Amino acid sequence: MASNYCKTQARLTKFSIIILILSFPMLSSPFLRRCEGARWKPVRNLQGFGNSSLSSSKLVREDEDVELNHHGLRDPKFSSINRRKLESCDDSNSYLSLSISASDSLQDVQNVTVTVSGVLNPSDSDWIAVFSPSTADTNDCPLNKALYIETGDTSSQPLTCLYPVKYQFVSADPQYLSCGNSQCQKEVLDKCLVKTCNGSITFRIINIRTDVVFVLFTGGLDVPCVLETSNALSFANPSSPLYGHLSSLDSTGTSMRLTWVSGNGNPQELYYNGGSSTSTVSTFNQTQVESPAADFGWHDPGYIHTASMTGLAPSTSYSYYYGSSVAGLTANKTFTTPPAAGGSSLRVVMYGDMGKAERDNSDEHYVQPGALGVIDALSERLSTDKDVDMVIHIGDISYATGFMVEWDSFLEMITPVASAVSYMTAIGNHERDFPGSGSVYKTSDSGGECGVAYESYFQMPTPAADKPWYSIESGPVHFTVMSTENNWTAGSEQYNWIQSDLASVNRSSTPWLIFTGHRPAYSSYQNSIIDDIIGTAVDTSFPPAIEPLLLNAKVDLAVWGHVHNYERTCAVYQSKCLGYPTNTSGIDTYNNTVYTAPVHAVIGTAGFTLDPISTEPPAWSLVRIGAFGYTYIQADPTSLLIQFVSNSTTGQIDDSFQFTR
């Protein structure tokens, strides 16, 4: 599935340039290079750059002695300029040591406690990071700040030359700064002359195939300085078959695809229902992606296996396991097939913008604070109520955005859900967008991934690579899934496909028509500062192109993500309400026996930090909720019930509406 369509001339986005200049006030125009014609690149003495001190600068033509490529950060000459070599800090503390609780090889999931001892002066700038592989460059590379910013992450992050897997400040141990856990290193006449302090941090380590090392830094994130490094730890089985997730091959409910990750590239077996299927193996490499995915954020993805299960029955549970004698075999797992198209019922969960967070409270690039609560609530619902047939995740999947090891973190997090029911997806800006790569929007939101990682991990029934649109039916519902990141303008391949797909729906078999994609056609969210830099939440050219297709096809519900709150509209067309719900037994009801227009719902609530709710909403906006949660849909031939479930522990329903016919 992976292709080379990412290879392109990359530019710093308007957003990253503005933030970078604000972050480093001493930067001036020579820092920015032109991609056209004779390109120029600055050569700087960067000593003291962490303090925004630039001591010299000159411009050198690309065709002289500096060879540029894309971001410049992968050019060896530039990398040597960006890197500040800090093999060790200027620290003469002979008492300092770093120890880890694991002495043997690591299991697929294992907690490792890292203890810092012998600290003379505990500081809130001391932190511990996990790096992989153990040969990772932990030196200080201050210009990497721009690579975080390009993906939209403006938070303070480690400016090391290779991005760490995760990190924690030692002050997370409540005894550390107060020296509550101390040792006397030198005692004279029962009086302690030298007292040192200890601190411990526990990391939850998952199998990412390559060995890991723990590194103690001081100096904070902007000017990291290495104090101590642990011994490297390898995984007991780097070839383990892991993170299997299901998707539907078609609308019959009789065939399913399983995709998993392994460090072993030989074909493996998927065992199910008394038979087996051999996996097809793929991967992707650094030549197929751009920076930061190709360098600063690169981590080897291992091998991606996919195998099909056929001859199944709809709405039926099966057991399965997968792997090989060499790589190892998983434990037995259970999944349930979705209802076939034309069936009498469907129960589906939809959400967008989930991402991931670490269960050990570690920090990383782009932490999504609501992700664990939502996925855990959904996992609990699956195990207790067993009332979910399918999940549809509509874009902004992992928020890895070029920091590739975070795909493993996301896949591990969703496994309890995605291994049990069909997990369908749509592509979002943080999977696809990159300048010059063919995406509609010219931002660097994917961090150089350009859809390569997404299409490798989530193989949907799409027409071809980089054509991430498809439709699928289950029960009485037809889902049309578009890509808002690929060309959707009138006359484009996707536009013609949407028109054809909507026209093909048999409303006798699937009376309900749900249209979905990542970026919304309607949202009342506004932020004047961000809007001026990266554009509004709604592309004003999008609704005029798409709305007539939805209206002509009598789409019941259009579901979107991208904006991180919940919102529901009236039956709306061209920003005018053509129909309103009536209250039936406490539920807003849209009677589509006499169709007026689609209702739109924004559901980007599954993890990313919430956006504020509009205080002056337009008339078409009926309900707005700022809460993490997911949307639960129940369908039968005459009713379509939609609930926004906002509380991860109680299953609180904050909005409920339905369609009837």
What would the DSSP string read from start to end of 28-56? -GGGS---SSS-EEEEEE-TTGGGT---E
Return d(Cα 645, Cα 101) in angstroms, integer. Answer: 40
The answer on 459 and 512 residing in a single domain is yes
Q: Is residue 287 part of a domain?
A: no
* DSSP tag of 496: H
pTM here is 0.89
Return d(Cα 430, Cα 413) in angstroms, integer. Answer: 18
Q: Is residue 271 part of a domain?
A: no
pLDDT range class, residue 493, cuts 50, 70, 90:
very high
Work out the average pLDDT over 23-36.
30
Q: Is residue 561 part of a domain?
A: yes
Among residues 469, 486, 479, which one has the least CA distance to residue 504?
479
The answer on 494 and 463 residing in a single domain is yes
Element (H, E) at 431: helix 429-432
For CA atoms 523, 526, 532, 534, the dihedral sign is negative
Among residues 362, 110, 405, which one has the least CA distance to residue 235?
110
Q: Is residue 199 part of a domain?
A: yes
The answer on 187 and 150 residing in a single domain is yes
Residue 71, pLDDT > 60, answer: no
Q: Is residue 581 part of a domain?
A: yes
Return d(Cα 313, Cα 159) in angstroms, integer. Answer: 52
Of 185, 203, 229, the one marking the end of a domain is 229
Number of compact structural domains in the chain: 3
The answer on 642 and 599 residing in a single domain is yes
What is the distance of C-alpha 255 from the center of its chain? 27
Q: Is residue 143 part of a domain?
A: yes
Exposed / middle / buried, residue 526 (Cβ in 10 Å: 0-12, 13-18, 19+) = middle
The answer on 527 and 403 residing in a single domain is yes
The answer on 155 and 20 residing in a single domain is no
Work out the average pLDDT over 235-244.
98
The answer on 106 and 78 residing in a single domain is no
* Structural tokens at position 356: 């991931």
The answer on 74 and 170 residing in a single domain is no
pLDDT range class, residue 91, cuts 50, 70, 90:
low
pLDDT range class, residue 651, cuts 50, 70, 90:
confident
Contact 36, 316 (CB under 8 A): no
Q: Is residue 181 part of a domain?
A: yes
Per-residue pLDDT tens digits for 516-561: 999 999 999 987 566 555 567 899 999 999 999 999 999 999 999 9
* DSSP tag of 499: H
Per-residue pLDDT tens digits for 96-130: 999 999 988 999 999 999 999 999 999 999 999 99
The answer on 105 and 77 residing in a single domain is no
Which residues neighbour 176 within 8 Å (Cβ) at sequence distance 6 or greater?
116, 119, 122, 126, 170, 197, 198, 199
Work out the average pLDDT over 51-69.
29
The answer on 627 and 650 residing in a single domain is yes
pLDDT range class, residue 76, cuts 50, 70, 90:
very low
- Distances in Å between the Cα of 80 and the Cα atoms of 35, 202, 659 are 21, 34, 61
- Parallel, antiparallel or unpaired: strands 56-61 and 213-218: unpaired
What is the pLDDT at residue 612?
A: 94
What is the pLDDT at residue 151?
A: 84
CATH code, domain carrying 503: 3.60.21.10
Q: What does residue 430 show for φ and ψ, rounded to 5 degrees?
A: -80, 0
Judged by DSSP in three states, 216 sits in strand
What is the pLDDT at residue 526?
A: 82
Contact 291, 356 (CB under 8 A): no
The answer on 126 and 27 residing in a single domain is no
Q: Is residue 331 part of a domain?
A: no
* Structural tokens at position 66: 């500096």
Per-residue pLDDT tens digits for 287-325: 999 999 999 999 999 999 999 999 999 999 999 999 999
Per-residue pLDDT tens digits for 380-421: 999 999 999 999 999 999 999 999 999 999 999 999 999 999
Exposed / middle / buried, residue 189 (Cβ in 10 Å: 0-12, 13-18, 19+) = exposed
Q: Which domain holds residue 219?
A: 97-229
Of 173, 194, 229, the one marking the end of a domain is 229
The answer on 502 and 407 residing in a single domain is yes
Enumerate the β-bridge partners of residue 639. Answer: 636, 660
* Structural tokens at position 621: 């906006």
Residue 432, pLDDT > 80, answer: yes
